[in-house]
Structures are given as structure tokens and as C-alpha cells.
Amino acid sequence: MTAAERRVEAKQAYDAYIAQCPSRKLLTTLSDKWVTLILSALAGGALRYSDLARTIAGVSQKMLTQTLRGLERDGLVERTITASVPVRVDYELTALGKSLLPLVAAIKSWAEEHISDVETARERYDSRA
């Protein structure tokens, strides 16, 4: 295989349009609403689990735990355990997680700014059905 062919192959290995691409799995993770909300909540600094649960209305304990574990596994969130009574667990964005903040903040802001337009479009669409 030539060097040019290896470069093409390497580039295709990370093409999210290819079903087996690992970046597609990451896109699936990043498109989750709880991921967006957790990353946004942690933008201001470290938070305890209970603070996150209070901040993000509607997230179940199971979903919050699963999402935090996934974010920790992906290197976006770091969990710090402090030995105390009771044990204190804090979650904080890693450098990699912080690098994602501008994108997440933009999506969150866009959703908040354009929801009325989207709801109007939905009503218009549903009235035709």
C-alpha cells in the first residue's frame, strides 16, 4: 500500500458517514440531551452530584449516573472523591470537556432562542396532517 493510499484509508477510518466509524459513536453520545445539559451545567466549575440533579430538572438518578459515567469514560468529565462523612463526590470538566463547551453552549443557546420558531413550524406541519 502506498503512503497516499494509507492516508486515504486513515482519513476514511474517521468518517462519521461510515457506520463503523468510532466518531459516529461519539456523535451519538454528544447528541444526547443529558450530555448537553450536564456539560453546560459544569461550565461554571465543579459540582456535586446533588447539585447537578437539582440544576437539571427532569433527569432521573439512573440517567444522571449513566451519563456522568459515560462522560468520565470519554475523558470529558473528571470525578473527584473526597473522603469525608458523608463522602463528597465532585464532577468537573476536563480540558477535553472544556474544549467542547463553545459548541455545546451554542447549541443550547440556539435551542432557547429558536424554540418558538420550531414550535410554530411544528404546529403548521401538524395542521396539514
Q: 60 vs 20, which has greater pLDDT? A: 60
Cα gap 69→67, rounded to integer Å: 5
Q: Does 14 share its domain with 44?
A: no
Q: Does 12 share its domain with 43?
A: no
What does pTM read for this prediction? 0.82
pLDDT tens profile 75-104: 999 999 998 888 889 999 999 999 999 999
**Residue 121 confidence class, pLDDT cut points 50, 70, 90:** very high
DSSP calls for 13-55: HT-TTSTT-HHHHHHHHHT-HHHHHHHHHGGGS-EEHHHHHHH
Q: What pLDDT is attached to residue 12?
A: 67
Q: What pLDDT is attached to residue 22?
A: 83
pLDDT tens profile 50-84: 999 999 999 999 999 999 999 999 999 999 999 88
Domain range for residue 86?
Answer: 32-128
56: three-class secondary structure by DSSP: coil
Q: Does 4 share its domain with 36?
A: no
Q: Does 103 share its domain with 117?
A: yes
Residue 43 clears pLDDT 70, i.e. is over it: yes
**Residue 4 confidence class, pLDDT cut points 50, 70, 90:** confident
Q: Does 94 share its domain with 49?
A: yes
